[in-house]
A and B are shown apart, each in its own frame.
Chain A
């Protein structure tokens, strides 16, 4: 195996990003879904309470809908950062490996494209893996309370969600969340082909994401509503329509990558 593949495997950034995302998800769920209040802060010595008030309240809180809805409340404002962070080492690689060894590659652009695909896949895997662990852990103690979760389950037959809620959420994390992660990883790679500075790779996706969804909501234009596909668990659009905002981001990424590759080519050729 080549040394560069070992280097890419040993990178800690995927692990760090996964852990931070996991901690943020469980931290916000703990406080936002009244779980902390019911378990620790509530006074159960009041006289007009029934004896098993705690069990009744826990049963109303531990549902799939509240679980995902409360854990995403703060995350939705800076969701792309977890896909961008594992793609950061590409900038270092582009500055050293693809400059010092530029004369050794037979197909220079093909090699760059290959490593871009690897890093974008890493960005997608971060989000999909973390969410699937999150849902698998949730399936131990959660129950569905709504019979129809929304437009994203329209591909499935009726009553699928109430019978297999965990399967539905795993499907969600390996389709739409994987696509969002790959699109923002590609965006990070495209920016790092053009810019030399580390912080631009973090900042520009974070400015594009709220700006685009802002104009989408103001003009009521679906291809810009990227935050609608981030909260795919609670939406009115059907399964196919949810992917339209991601396709807009993919088009933007390809434009960025083509411009960046042309710029690299001009620098190498002289």
Chain B
């Protein structure tokens, strides 16, 4: 691992931990203000519910669907994610792709070069965020007065499954953004990424009994992982046929 790459990994790791720390603080302040007003036995799941957001508004009394700031933490996680993970190609102008293509000789390899070890960075970002949230939850729960016993191993497994879904979602968003980036320019690509996040969240809240980005372990996240894997495979084929196809050269031998 060379020097630049190590620096990028460390900055992503530190920023993810900072974001998780601030999210835990905000969720904790929200929960403590709720406890003082109403009687409800709080356990560890409630803090994670506020951070990752669930769509079961009827079960939990501290969640209100008409509250306009209810999706703030989810949006900040995904927006920081697409900024950090796609920074490598979004900070360059569109002509770089053509330059790298002319050197590498294959469009696919040029795309791989522009994305620059995206999967490792995504895993680093998401796992750092989720594990820090889980540790913060364990530290915060001790302070509440009315608590019930929770199954912490089950919560940890659910957090990891949700992290897997988030990794798939971020890689899907990266594929969409890279497609638009090659076709037009960086500003449009970034706008498309923001639109894609909101479309996924609208779908998620509209569909009852189906979960894509949020934290509702009714089917143990099999639905979200399945949907996002299918979307990733579809986006892979769209990239293969509309972005990476190379037309055959008919003007004789080019070597």
Contacts and interface: CB of A to CB of B under 8 A. Distances in A.
B71 A74 contact: yes
Determine the interface band of chain B, counting residues with CB < 8 A from chain A: 20 to 34
B75 interface: yes
Contacts of A234: 68
Q: Count chain A CB atoms within 10 A of each CB in B71, B185, B202 and give the residue with the most.
A: B202
Nearest to A36: B206
B187 A85 contact: yes
Contact of B79 (A72, A78, A88, A199): A78
Interface string A1-37: 0000000000000000000100010011001100000
B68 A76 contact: yes
A197 interface: yes
Nearest to B76: A210
Contacts of B198: 24, 28, 74
Contact of A72 (B68, B76, B185): B68
Interface string A101-118: 000000000000000000
Contacts of B87: 199
A207 B68 contact: no
Contact of B191 (A20, A27, A74, A76): A20
A217 interface: yes
Q: Tell me what chain A mostly uses at the interface: helix, strand, loop, or mixed.
A: helix
Interface in A50-79: 69, 72-74, 76-78
Given A31-B206, A74-B201, A78-B79, A202 B72 contact: no
Interface in B27-75: 29, 66, 68-69, 71-72, 75
Given A32-B202, A69-B66, A69-B68, A199 B29 contact: no
Contacts of A77: 71-72, 75-76, 79
Given A73-B68, A77-B72, A199-B91, A207 B83 contact: yes
Contact of A198 (B69, B187, B202): B187
B202 A28 contact: yes
Contacts of A27: 202
A86 to B, nearest CB: 11
B187 A199 contact: yes
A88 B187 CA distance: 9
Nearest to B203: A31
A31 B69 CA distance: 18
B117 to A, nearest CB: 19
Nearest to A200: B91
Nearest to A76: B68
Interface size class of A (residues with CB under 8 A): 20 to 34
A125 interface: no
Interface string B185-212: 1110011001100100110011000000
B11 interface: no
Given A206-B79, A210-B76, A214-B26, A199 B68 contact: no
Interface in A174-204: 197-200, 202-203
B8 interface: no
Contacts of A28: 198, 202
Contacts of B83: 203, 206-207
A218 B25 contact: yes
B11 to A, nearest CB: 14
A81 interface: yes
Contacts of A218: 22, 25-26, 29
B22 A214 contact: yes
B90 interface: yes
B20 to A, nearest CB: 13
A202 B76 CA distance: 15
A82 to B, nearest CB: 9
Contacts of A72: 68
Nearest to B89: A199
Nearest to A30: B202
A81 B191 contact: yes
B202 A231 contact: no
Interface centre among B22, B68, B202 (most CB of A within 10 A): B68
A210 B69 CA distance: 11
B93 interface: yes
Interface of A: 20, 24, 27-28, 31-32, 69, 72-74, 76-78, 81, 85, 88, 197-200, 202-203, 206-207, 210, 214, 217-218, 227, 231, 234
Given A78-B75, A81-B194, A85-B191, 17 more contacts: A20-B195, A74-B202, A77-B72, A77-B75, A78-B194, A198-B187, A199-B190, A200-B91, A203-B83, A203-B190, A206-B79, A206-B83, A210-B72, A214-B76, A217-B26, A218-B29, A227-B69
CB-CB nearest 8 A-B residue pairs: A77-B75, A74-B198, A199-B90, A210-B76, A199-B186, A78-B194, A202-B190, A199-B91
5 contacts: A74-B75, A76-B69, A198-B93, A199-B91, A210-B76
